[in-house]
Structure formats: structure tokens, C-alpha cells
Amino acid sequence: MKIAILGFGTVGSGVYDIIANGDTRMRVTAIFIRPTHPATMPEMTTDLDAILNDPTIDVIVETMGGLHPAHDYILQALQHGKHVVTANKAVVAKYLPEFTAVAAHHHVQFYFEATTGGGIPWIRNLERAARIDQIDTIEGIFNGTSNYILDQMQRAHLDFDPVLLAAKDMGYAEADPSADIDGEDVVNKLKISAALAYNMAPPRNVPTFGIRNVSKADIDFFASQHQVLRLIGKSKRDGDHYSMVVEPRLYSETALAANTFENFNLIRLHGQTIGDLQFYGQGAGKYPTANAIVQDLYDILENAPHLDRSFDQPLHFDANLNVTDYVLRADPMTFAMFNDRETEIVNDRLVIKQIPTGDMHKLMRGVLAIDADAFMAAIGDSELAAKDVLHQRDQEVIG
């Protein structure tokens, strides 16, 4: 099987290394580089058309990242009858139904294991579970950079800025870490996961709040309450409704998420017959991600098909499907926004009881307009389904 790699950065070069030192049935025969990149290897070329029109190339591996020109390049490859494997979470999250339909029309495969969970075989196992079960929950630590920051703030007793700097020095964080610390990276991974689990096109907008504003004082306060903070992506399905949210979340210090250290990921699914399945491992990095790409290449080589999805289930997105308690650290003048809620002040922080997730995120935008440094976190063990909360209130009224 002959392979072309588009982009030769960290992940692309990792794919090349694994193939060059591995199975002789695979061979990289072309590497597409931008004109500004020096051609240091004989396989390198700036001529994409030559790659697309080469009948000997079976698979194109896209590791360029970003939406454009990756979207156009992937479509062109599929239309030219090439299988495509990618690690590009942003483009897959936005265009997955389109890519899948075009691949099917041209009788080729479009695989993307490396987009979510790095070296963890998350996508493949999610697909396997979804063949049998209705998946009703996806939850976890999807981003190694944010997890490293929160872990070091807690265990090394450091503040946000020096830990972020260390993460950049170690290669865990990009020069611009916004996608990681603001939650957009997790949003993309959660969209991909939910699309596969529920067989639907994901929503355009997901309630999202990152960790940019977290302080050492916040971490210390949570520790005094025997709680550990993690940036979590979570989706729930209830009948024909589903929710998605990315936000900081507090866990008991004995929980698995609280004991997921450094840059590791921990992702969970729940199915009707399989129950809980949890996956732990390196969520990013050159060789873990490259390994996931090569696993997809093996599936193409050995004709091992993945789950066939049409992404056409008519499900309804409901940001308020679940309710939970939140803790808010902000200018006290913002607390008046929650006067119609049951609240409690603990150590100058406002605890808001049983508020729908979507409502909390909307109110938080108002809080940030007054206090740009405000921070909130969901309290993990307080979550209930909205229908259960309504039932509880009805029972109280009847009682």
C-alpha cells in the first residue's frame, strides 16, 4: 500500500517514522509540503495534483490541521478515489457527514481515529459499542494540555501562568494555547464522539467554558473541600434529546478523573448493555497520535471496515437536559443575577443549586461582562436529569 502524507510536522513525521521502520506492506511515496518548506527528502513535493493523479497512491494521510485548505484537500483526495486518514479534529468535527458521504460515493474509506484521544483506541471502541448499544453518555478528559495544567496547579501548588509556560516548554501546549485552555479542542473531540455515538450531525454551538481564569486560590479552595478540578467534555442522550457541554468540573479526590495525572486522558462511555467503559492513556503527542493513524492504515490494508454511519438521526439538542450545582467565583455584585435560584455563599464563592447547564452558561456570559476574571465549575456529583428535578419538585408540591 502506497501512502502520501499531507503536512510533515510533528504528527506527519511520526507517521513516516513508524511506517519506515515497520510493516513492509506500507510505504510512503510522497510527502506534500508548502512551497515555503525546504524539500529535505526525495519524497517531498509541492505538487498536490501530482499526488492526486498518481494511480499508484492508495491512501492520503492528512496531518496539516485547521479547516482550510484541509477541507478542500480531503474532498479532492476522496473524489480521486483515494482513502483518507486524518488526525485533524477541527475539520472532522465540522465536515464529518460530508466526508463520509463523499467517501461512500467513491467507494473509499475515511478514517479518523487519531482525532480523539491521541493514542487511545477511543473511536474504534466507541464504534464497536455503538453497533450493539444505544450510547447514552460520553464524558471525560479529552485534552492533555489542560489536564497537565490543572494537575500541576494542584499537586505542585503552582499558579496558572508558570504551569502554562512549562507546558509550552515541554511541547504539551502550542505557542497559542487558546484551543486547549478555552475548551475548543475538547468541543471538537466531543462533537466527533457524539456524532458517532448517536448517528447524528453535531450542533454548531456547544456551551463551553475553559480554564483560562482558574487561579491557585480556586484550586486550593477546591482541595479544602476534597475536590479536584478537571476540564471535561460531556454529552448525554435521553430519548430523542441530547446535550453537550465543555466546562470545568469538580470530582471527589478519590474519583478516577481526579487521579488522572499529567497530560493523560480518561474518556468514558455508557451503553445500555455494556454499562460503563473507560479508556485511559496518552491523549496527544507525536508517536501516540501517529500510532492511531497507522492503526487506521492497517484497517484499510486488511479491509477491516468501520461502523457505517449516515449521521441522519433526527435528535434535538437541549442544553438544559441536565441540571447541576455550580460554584462561582466572581465580583459579589454579580451574585444578584442568581436571586431567583437557591444559593449559598461558601468562602466568598456562590454555590448555585440545581441550575440547568444551558442557563448557567448563559448567565456566566453576563457575569464575565462585569468581571472578566470570573470562574465557574460544575459540581460533578450533583447532576441530575432535568426530568428528575421536575419530578422531585412535583413530589414536594404534592407532599
Round to whole Å and give the CA distance between 83 and 131.
23
Report the amino acid identity of residue 361. Answer: H
CA 6, CA 72: separation in Å to the nearest integer? 12
Catalytic residues: 189
Is 80 in contact with 53 (CB distance < 8 Å)? yes
The HSE-up count of residue 354 (CA atoms within 13 Å, CB side) is 10
- Of all helices (H) and strands (E), which one includes residue 217? helix 216-224
State the Cα–Cα distance between residues 259 and 161, nearest whole angstrom: 22
The CA distance from 267 to 372, in Å, is: 31
CB-CB contact of 111 with 273 (8 Å): no
Q: What is the DSSP string of 97-112?
A: HHHHHHHHHTT--EE-
Q: Which grid cell sits at 242?
A: 441530547
- The answer to whether 380 and 251 are in contact (CB under 8 A) is yes
Contact criterion met (CB below 8 Å) for 303 and 128: no
Residues contacting residue 153 through CB under 8 Å, at least 6 positions apart: 159, 160, 163, 214, 216, 219
User: Phi then psi for 379, rounded to 5 degrees?
Assistant: -100, 110
Phi and psi at residue 237, in whole multiples of 5°?
-120, 135
Q: Return the DSSP state at 88.
A: -
Handedness of CA 83, 289, 93, 277 (dihedral sign): positive
